[in-house]
């Protein structure tokens, strides 16, 4: 018979918890991503012990990105727990908190997986109800929501954080109305999901909103919600920062452009913003007396640089790993300038035959070559090489009991 695996980083010595049998169906793996949460661990495990094992078998998987003594504290406090505890300490925090949750999903061995924060703003006492609600409704995903009757965001201190949370919720539901139908709180970090409903390999998390990632990329057909009251943080400081906010926005763009049609639309919008540096450069060069043909060649480089930066960070973020930065720059610049082979004759035709001005002729030629530029960029710059294999080895330290 297989067993739960209790693990700790190599440097922590003997594991704190012995392996035990895999529970019957209906058991739960509690995945807790942590980053410098040592002051919360003792109370968190105590509340889980009080709330969960008496109602259903459980294990706890901590996926830790800490720079403090959180792994050691987990190891010490787990000694008194009546359930298996696993510590996975990551050398590199790939994907942020969302990436940590994906590691926990892969390590889980129960039918149900509950994801929650380690700061006690998510009450462990609700875990059995999340699983029970999923079993009753035959749902694959159960979301703990602050925005249905009985729920509250009272632990979300400050008008600024409340406004940001509400704004982010509105934005995500506007961008993904079909995928988020029936989910009132897509920003929730507290939810239960069936292990059979998760395809961890297709997830590409960035930052801390892993529920949004799951709902958009591999949402189960049946979803239900349970109200919960968002608690005050027990100890430590919030990890929400402006940088996390920017990562969230980048993540939204990545999710929204997952389909080819959406990518083409965003590619076109980015290209439209590139008109400005291109046309400003052309105007300045022709005003200085340069012929429009060499002026367009030089001005084109401004638009190329601008478009490359936006495409890199907004449109093809997940695909940058397939080629080196210099390789991508070279291919993108070569493709963009090869576009001139077609565009310059078009501009000359519009100027010489139709009597158009250089600026309007350039704008029209840019529009006409748009589709070719999109297909070439995706296929020649950002698609994986045919010989590309699976991702590299894990940077997570773990040792079996």
Domains and CATH numbers, the chain: 10-237 (3.90.550.10), 260-382 (no CATH)
User: Hey, what are 170's tokens?
Assistant: 């509105």
What pLDDT score does 93 carry? Answer: 74
What pLDDT score does 315 carry? Answer: 77
pLDDT value at 346 more than 90: no
pLDDT grade for 239, boundaries at 50, 70 and 90: low
pLDDT value at 312 more than 70: yes
| DSSP structure string for 213-274 | HHHHHH--S-EEEEE-BPPPPSSS-----HHHHHHHHHHHHHHHT-SHHHHHHHHHHHHHHH
pLDDT value at 40 more than 50: yes
What digits encode the pLDDT tens for the residues 154-176? 655 556 566 767 777 788 777 88
Mean pLDDT of 269-278: 81
Sign of torsion over alpha carbons 35, 38, 40, 46: positive
Distance CA 323, CA 329 (A): 10
Q: Which helix (H) or strand (E) holds 30?
A: strand 28-34
Using an 8 Å Cβ cutoff, are 140 and 194 in contact? yes
Model-wide pTM > 0.75: no
Q: Which helix (H) or strand (E) holds 197?
A: none
Helices (H) and strands (E) counted in the chain, each on its own, are: 12, 8
Mean pLDDT of 353-371: 84
pLDDT value at 10 more than 80: no
pLDDT value at 394 more than 60: no
Q: Among 102-111, 184-193, 284-293, 380-389, which is the least confidently predicted range?
A: 380-389
User: Hey, what are 353's tokens?
Assistant: 């035959």
pLDDT value at 219 more than 90: no
If you average pLDDT over every residue of the chain, what do you get?
78
pLDDT value at 385 more than 70: no
Name the residue among 125, 158, 146, 131 with its Cα closest to residue 229. Answer: 146
| DSSP structure string for 119-183 | SSSS-GGGHHHHHHHHHHHT-SEEEEESSSTT-B-TTS-SHHHHHHHHHHHHHHHHH-TTTTTT-
Using an 8 Å Cβ cutoff, are 351 and 365 in contact? no
CA R_g for the chain: 26
Helix, coil or strand: residue 53: coil
What pLDDT score does 127 carry? Answer: 94
What pLDDT score does 45 carry? Answer: 94
Distance CA 183, CA 177 (A): 10
Using an 8 Å Cβ cutoff, are 84 and 400 in contact? no
Q: Which residues contact 105 (CB under 8 A, 6 or more apart)?
A: 31, 113, 195, 198, 200, 203
């Amino acid at each position: 018979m297989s067993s739960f695996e209790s693990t700790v980083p190599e440097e922590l010595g003997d594991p704190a918890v012995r392996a035990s049998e895999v529970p019957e169906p209906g058991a739960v793996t509690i995945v807790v991503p942590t980053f410098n949460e040592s002051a919360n661990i003792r109370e968190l495990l105590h509340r889980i012990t009080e709330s969960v094992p008496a109602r259903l078998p459980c294990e706890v998987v901590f996926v830790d990105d800490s720079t403090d003594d959180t792994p050691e504290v987990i190891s010490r406090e787990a000694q008194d727990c009546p359930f298996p505890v696993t510590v996975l300490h990551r050398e590199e925090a790939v994907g942020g908190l969302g990436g940590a949750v994906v590691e926990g999903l892969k390590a889980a061995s129960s039918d149900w997986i509950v994801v929650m924060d380690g700061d006690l703003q998510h009450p462990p006492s609700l875990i059995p109800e999340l699983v029970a609600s999923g079993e009753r409704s035959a749902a694959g995903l159960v979301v703990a929501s602050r925005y249905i009757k009985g729920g509250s965001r009272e632990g979300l201190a400050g008008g600024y954080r409340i406004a940001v949370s509400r704004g982010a919720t509105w934005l995500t539901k506007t961008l993904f109305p079909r995928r988020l139908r029936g989910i009132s709180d897509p920003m929730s970090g507290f939810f239960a999901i069936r292990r059979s409903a998760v395809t961890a390999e297709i997830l590409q998390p960035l930052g801390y909103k892993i529920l949004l990632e799951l709902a958009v990329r591999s949402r189960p057909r049946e979803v239900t919600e349970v109200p919960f009251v968002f608690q005050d943080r027990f100890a430590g400081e919030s990890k929400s920062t402006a940088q996390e906010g920017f990562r969230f926005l980048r993540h939204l763009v990545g999710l929204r452009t997952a389909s080819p049609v959406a990518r083409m639309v965003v590619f076109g919008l980015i290209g439209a913003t590139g008109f400005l540096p291109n046309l400003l450069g052309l105007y300045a060069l022709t005003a200085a007396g340069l012929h429009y043909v060499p002026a367009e060649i030089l001005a084109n480089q401004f638009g190329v640089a601008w478009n490359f930066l936006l495409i890199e960070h907004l449109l093809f973020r997940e695909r940058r790993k397939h080629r080196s930065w210099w390789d991508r720059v070279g291919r993108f610049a070569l493709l963009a300038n090869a576009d001139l082979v077609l565009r310059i004759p078009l501009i000359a035709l519009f100027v010489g035959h139709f009597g158009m001005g250089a600026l309007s002729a350039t704008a029209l030629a840019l529009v006409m070559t748009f589709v070719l530029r999109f297909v070439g960029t995706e296929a020649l710059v950002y698609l994986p090489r045919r010989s590309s294999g699976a991702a590299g080895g894990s940077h997570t330290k773990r040792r079996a009991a």
